[in-house]
Structure 1
Amino acid sequence: MATGRTHRPATRSRGIPEATVARLPLYLRALTALSERSVPTVSSEELAAAAGVNSAKLRKDFSYLGSYGTRGVGYDVEYLVYQISRELGLTQDWPVVIVGIGNLGAALANYGGFASRGFRVAALIDADPAMAGKPVAGIPVQHSDDLEKIIQDNGVSIGVIATPAGAAQAVCERLVAAGVTSILNFAPTVLSVPEGVDVRKVDLSIELQILAFHEQRKAGEGAASDGGVPAAAARSESADQGPDGDMPAVMPA
């Protein structure tokens, strides 16, 4: 049962910071691409560029794994793939359930990258009785009434929530009560979970809003370099100002 506390990731017991853990999949993706091209070794500078980080940060991250590379040679690609995969727990099979088989849930079910990365979609679950039995990505959808039994029968510890926002917390609480300890949340809401449950949130609308901010800033910088502010932007600034001429902070709904 949820306690009302919003979960905050803690530093791992082995002493690897969460920021480093968050970058390990980036390194693994870059290394996997090198491995597929049969590249035997890679320098820290090359790998850092491929992963989108600086080389000093990469070397620091790898020091937590006990991997320091060889001067003048670099890192062994295959060994690093193994090291990082083992650290992330990808050397074993992880059964996953996806709850909410609308457009997004169906797209996730059809994603072909799960199996190659150590994850197996064990079940698809939806509350709509009309969906029960329908195959999605070759897997028959099961009704949410059976959620607890499905989780127990398949030994599931990772759940994916792709429901509407209003249903997400109740689904989360049922997943946790059934034994799920890690949740990937695509619903546009913040989940409250008990101690010991990890939640990762993916909010596409927030990411788009951040990109819109950067696009707006780039447009403003372009206008400034031309020696003026576009009339539309000037009108927008005037309309957004408060009664005392200040600029209130507005968060889109």
Structure 2
Amino acid sequence: MVHQIPRIIIGRLPLYLRALNRLKKDGYNYASSRELGKLLDISAAQIRKDLSHFGELGKRGKGYEIDFLTSKLNQILNTDTVWDMIVIGAGDLGSGLARYRGFLNRGFRVAAIFDIDSQKIGRKIGNLVVKDNREMCDFVAENGIQIAVLAIPAEFAQDVIDDLVVVGITAILNYAPIYIKTPDGVQIEHIDPAVHLQKLSYFLN
């Protein structure tokens, strides 16, 4: 059923999780759609509609039990387990992603980081050692890795992904400023900070 849910709704579920975690830290046990909406600038009606795709998750008059809804959303997003992933590119961006501690408590662990630059291979980044790109496909296949994060120049991105898809990568977070072609069944999210800045600049005087 989840795969039939519109992608835009799936994209809002992590926002709901983040809001629930904040309310839990503030001492709440229940959250109304209105309270979630105020935190996220999303209408209460939209939140109720989104969550209704997954069954009756709230209680009339009380709202959503935070622990239950958090657990349910983690189940839906498959983040009730820990997924190993790789980072490709050990430049400033890739190194920062490899060091980021916020992944683990959201269900993701950086298992390895790779680069083609001999000056970077062997360097320590946190508790990882940068591996040679030539080891990448074997590492993915041997460890059953399904998620790759791309932080490399645009001109290399398509070739790298073509190789990774063959050995089992099915989910890609792409920071390279290029749209990558992937076969059916491979999910990709593009993140280009410049695009988001261009959206913001529209509102500037």
Scaled to the shorter chain, the TM-score interval is over 0.9
Segments of 4+ moved more than 6 angstroms: none
Matched, 1:120 2:109: yes
Aligned residue for 1:199, secondary structure, equals strand
Alignment partner for residue 146 of structure 2, among 135, 138, 157?
157
Is the Cα contact below 8 Å between 2:57 and 2:69 reproduced in 1?
A: no
Is the Cα contact below 8 Å between 1:12 and 1:18 reproduced in 2?
A: no
Matched, 1:36 2:22: no
The one-letter code of the counterpart of 2:177 is P
What per-residue deviation string (whole Å, max 9, x for no partner) do you get for residues 149-191 of structure 1?
1112221000000001111111111111111011000000010
**Alignment match, 1:58:** 47
The one-letter code of the counterpart of 1:151 is V
The CA distance in 2 between the partners of 1:93 and 1:157, in whole Å, is 12
Matched, 1:181 2:160: no
Is the Cα contact below 8 Å between 1:59 and 1:68 reproduced in 2?
A: no
Unaligned runs of 5+ in 1: 1-10, 220-253
The CA distance in 1 between the partners of 2:126 and 2:197, in whole Å, is 28
- Provide TM-score, normalisation by structure 2: 0.96
Give the deviation of 1:101 after TM superposition: 0.8
The one-letter code of the counterpart of 1:206 is V
Is the Cα contact below 8 Å between 1:126 and 1:141 reproduced in 2?
A: yes
1:76-155 residue pairs with structure 2 within 5 A? 76-155=65-144
Give the deviation of 1:52 after TM superposition: 2.2
The CA distance in 1 between the partners of 2:184 and 2:39, in whole Å, is 36
The CA distance in 1 between the partners of 2:57 and 2:117, in whole Å, is 52
Q: Over aligned residue pairs, what C-alpha RMSD do you find?
A: 1.3
The CA distance in 2 between the partners of 1:68 and 1:52, in whole Å, is 21
Aligned pair count reads: 205
Unaligned runs of 5+ in 2: none
State, as a whole percentage, how many aligned pairs show the same letter: 37
Alignment partner for residue 185 of structure 2, among 189, 193, 196?
196
The CA distance in 1 between the partners of 2:182 and 2:196, in whole Å, is 23
The CA distance in 2 between the partners of 1:198 and 1:68, in whole Å, is 27
**Alignment match, 1:49:** 38
Query: Which one has the largest radius of gyration?
Result: 1
The one-letter code of the counterpart of 1:63 is S
Is the Cα contact below 8 Å between 2:170 and 2:186 reproduced in 1?
A: yes
The CA distance in 2 between the partners of 1:67 and 1:157, in whole Å, is 31
Structure number with greater CO (CA < 8 Å, separation at least 6) is 1
What per-residue deviation string (whole Å, max 9, x for no partner) do you get for residues 115-173 of structure 1?
00010101000011221211112200000001111112221000000001111111111
**Alignment match, 2:203:** 214
